[in-house]
Amino acid sequence: MFDGPFDLLLSLIGKHELDITEVSLSLVTDEFIAYLGSLEGRGLAQLDRASEFLVVAATLLDLKIASLLPQGEAVDAEDIALLEARDLLFARLLQYRAFKQASAWFRARLDAEDARHPRQVPLDARYRERAPELVWTLSAEDFAALAMLAFAPKTLPTVGLDHLHAPLVSIREQAAIVVSLLRTGGAHSFRELVAGVSERGVIVARFLAILELYRRAAVTFDQAEPLGELHVRWAGETWSDDELATLGNDYD
């Protein structure tokens, strides 16, 4: 009545409505002993299935021990490994049940279609006579062109890798550009600070440069409304260009 260890485990969980993390090991043991008893006289071919079930039982035992131990705030690598083993076992059970349901569906369809038989006799003459005459609309040259198109070597598709090797952008260099623009006086919008720039990496680097300058009290900015225009103003009265040498160290 069982096809293997996972069938046995699924049957136990379904029959007793047990959660996989709350399986009673004594109950599993009793059921498994009864299962082994039903295999007597069937030869050694069932030994592999019994061994596979022992692996499942050992995993359940580890999970049971982990659930009985006190749970602290410290993260233990062994506890994480046990949780991963539990998740893997649960996923394999779900996958196994899905395959069994799919195979049962195919079996039902095969049984239903087994009663169908194809027609083995030719079409009646009266129906063949009603078929219209075949009219060729293509010439020999047209078929030759189709053949050349079909047998022409296919161009191998290529995948561009340029986006994987984007050039590095220096935040210090972009900060120097922002400082020179802001020192001209007045407030500048972020849109003006990145005018003429099309590379996304440069735009991001200039925004990070503004944040670094703000952290060093070299600029101030305001935004009238959320997602509105960002205006940046120079405020570095004690600013020294030597500070550019250490600006952006966190992004190196």
Could you read off the pLDDT of 187-243 as tens digits, one per residue?
A: 888 888 888 888 888 888 889 888 888 888 888 888 888 888 889 988 877 788 788
Using CA atoms, how far apart are residues 87 and 20, in angstroms rounded to an integer?
10
pLDDT confidence of residue 97 = 82
Amino acid letter, 147? A
Q: How is domain 164-251 classified at the architecture level of CATH?
A: Orthogonal Bundle (1.10)
> Which of residues 44 and 129 earns the better pLDDT score?
129
Mean pLDDT value across residues 30-49? 65
Q: Give the strand pairing for 219-223 and 188-189.
A: unpaired
Cα–Cα separations (whole angstroms), residue 31 to 4, 34, 155, 157: 13, 5, 62, 58
Q: How confident is the model at residue 46 (pLDDT cuts 50, 70, 90)?
A: low
pLDDT at 7 over 70: no
Which two structure tokens, joined as six digits, stand for 44? 């050694």
Q: What's the whole-number average pLDDT of the chain?
A: 76
∠101-105-109 over CA atoms, to 5°? 170
One-character DSSP codes across 40-105: TTS-GGGHHHHHHHHHHHHHHHHHHHHHHSPP-SS--HHHHHHHHHHHHHHHHHHHHHHHHHHHHH
Cα–Cα separations (whole angstroms), residue 219 to 160, 191, 205, 209: 40, 16, 16, 10
pLDDT confidence of residue 223 = 84
pLDDT confidence of residue 106 = 93
pLDDT confidence of residue 85 = 72
Which two structure tokens, joined as six digits, stand for 46? 């069932």
pLDDT at 144 over 90: yes
* CB-based contacts of 210, cutoff 8 Å, min separation 6: 178, 190, 193, 219, 221, 232
Using CA atoms, how far apart are residues 175 and 208, in angstroms rounded to an integer?
8
- Three-state DSSP at 107 gives helix
> Which of residues 147 and 47 earns the better pLDDT score?
147
In the chain, residues under CATH classification 1.10.10.580 are: 164-251
Cα–Cα separations (whole angstroms), residue 35 to 5, 58, 231: 10, 17, 76
Q: How confident is the model at residue 2 (pLDDT cuts 50, 70, 90)?
A: very low
Q: How confident is the model at residue 56 (pLDDT cuts 50, 70, 90)?
A: low
Amino acid letter, 203? I
Could you tell me which of 175, 244, 242 has the C-alpha nearest to residue 206? Answer: 175
Q: How confident is the model at residue 74 (pLDDT cuts 50, 70, 90)?
A: very low
Which two structure tokens, joined as six digits, stand for 181? 């623009």
